[in-house]
Amino acid sequence: MMPEGVYYRTLKARAEIIEGNINDLLWDLTVYKYALQKCIEALWELDKIPKKSQVHQLFYPMLRDHGFRAHVARNIYSTALALVKSAKENNGSKPVVKKMTARLDYQDAKVDMDSHVVKVILRDKWYTLKIIHKKDFIEKFKGLKWKEVHVKYCNGVLYVSIIFVIRYKPYVPRGAIGLDINLRQITTYDGSNVRRYRTRFIDALSKRARAEELQRKHPRRWRYNKRILSRVRALHRKARNIVLDWCRKSAKYIVLKAKKYGYAIALEDLTNLRENIVEKEGVFVWKLSMFTYRKLQEAIISKTIEHNVPVILVNPRNTSTTCPRCGTKLSYTYRLAICRKCNFKADRDKIGAINIWLRSLYVYAGEHGSTLSAPAVKDEARQSGRIKDEGMKIMIKSVQK
């Protein structure tokens, strides 16, 4: 189960300076980058990584001399310390700061989400930056608490990132919705009903296939011919946008539905994404699938955090090859399976969704098993009338194990 706690969400956007001089800001960012690298060099030479208080003594006066405000100075040496620590732990080489990015917290930044404006100060001058993004997107962050602002200058463009803090406190679910995801459809099972939602992955795939066809047709030319290149790029972009747009919309739909009924959402834990997709879809589509699955999972998880909906990540092993009724290994004729032992009959997606749902009950059992006695769980389930007995028996069994 995804633990409750603090999660972060970032608003990342282009920014335009509306008060203050851009050249002054760029100079501040340059000095910031230089000072950060200085701290890294000095820390790198030391045999032992010093404690934070020692690091403070080492660098704080120097950074203040460079004109940085107190909190900015702290952020600089903390960042240097973190970079050096992780590089040394991973036996990496000395970190080199390439980007012009400054980290600012509440002392040195002001965020006004009503007028889409951020004010920042690094040394002695305030700058006012306007966030450039779709209004709907910015509005989503309204009312959230922010923690940090990052200002970045890259390839002639100014960017601002605002990191918001979300306290995730999932409610205690009354049941769960199991989600089985494949390229064609999302299949859900809530303990009694199976529902199917067509995806738009296939549309995205066909856009991509057309791009690849063009590349094949003009194997040498497509890279250099402006017209073909822009066509290829547009198709790839469209494929990506279809996926992203669809992921956002369906994540919202599913999460709000779960919230309405007080349910948890159960998903396969896709940490070992690659094997999974190869098993499900075959190797040939795995690249786009990987992107899609990851985006969909991200979209669902970020929505659940926003709405305090509990998420259960279940072990994805054999979800589509185990009979949900008796546990026998299933074999398929195309997408349909009939259990040799108990005659349970269903298609692949349905079996996946049911198994995911069943596994989410194991998680419950793990969470609450120590405090609830088996009969009490059973009564509760009957009263709510939402959880079928079949699943509950399995759950109780696992508590007793």
List residues binding Zn ion (CB under 5 A). 323, 325-326, 328, 339, 341-342, 344
- Beta carbon nearer to Zn ion, 18 or 326: 326
CA distances, 224 to each of 177, 227, 232 (Å): 50, 9, 12
Cβ atoms of 211 and 236 closer than 8 Å:
yes
Cβ atoms of 135 and 99 closer than 8 Å:
no
Sign of the Cα torsion 348, 353, 357, 359 reads positive
- Beta carbon nearer to Zn ion, 40 or 339: 339
- Beta carbon nearer to Zn ion, 297 or 320: 320
Which residues fall within 8 angstroms of residue 69, CB to CB, at 6 or more apart? 107, 108, 121, 122, 123
From CA 80, how far away is CA 67, in angstroms rounded? Answer: 18
Cβ atoms of 200 and 295 closer than 8 Å:
no
Cβ atoms of 187 and 179 closer than 8 Å:
yes
CA distances, 123 to each of 328, 337, 361 (Å): 68, 68, 55
From CA 263, how far away is CA 261, in angstroms rounded? Answer: 5
- Beta carbon nearer to Zn ion, 25 or 323: 323
The β-bridge relationship of strands 117-121 and 126-132 is: antiparallel
- Beta carbon nearer to Zn ion, 75 or 322: 322
- Beta carbon nearer to Zn ion, 239 or 323: 323
- Beta carbon nearer to Zn ion, 247 or 339: 339
Q: How far is CA 390 from the centre of its chain?
A: 33
Q: How far is the CB of 343 from Zn ion (least distance, A)?
A: 7
Q: How far is the CB of 338 from Zn ion (least distance, A)?
A: 9
- Beta carbon nearer to Zn ion, 291 or 344: 344
Closest CA to 59 of 86, 82, 36: 36
Q: How far is the CB of 342 from Zn ion (least distance, A)?
A: 3
Q: Is 112 exposed, middle or buried (0-12, 13-18, 19+ CB in 10 A)?
A: exposed
Q: How far is the CB of 337 from Zn ion (least distance, A)?
A: 9
Which residues fall within 8 angstroms of residue 99, CB to CB, at 6 or more apart? 33, 152, 154
Q: What is the phi/psi pair of residue 175, to 5°? A: 180, -170
- Beta carbon nearer to Zn ion, 317 or 368: 317
Q: How far is the CB of 241 from Zn ion (least distance, A)?
A: 42
Sign of the Cα torsion 268, 274, 280, 286 reads positive
Q: How far is the CB of 347 from Zn ion (least distance, A)?
A: 15
Q: How far is the CB of 340 from Zn ion (least distance, A)?
A: 8
Q: How far is the CB of 348 from Zn ion (least distance, A)?
A: 15
- Beta carbon nearer to Zn ion, 130 or 325: 325
Q: How far is the CB of 391 from Zn ion (least distance, A)?
A: 15
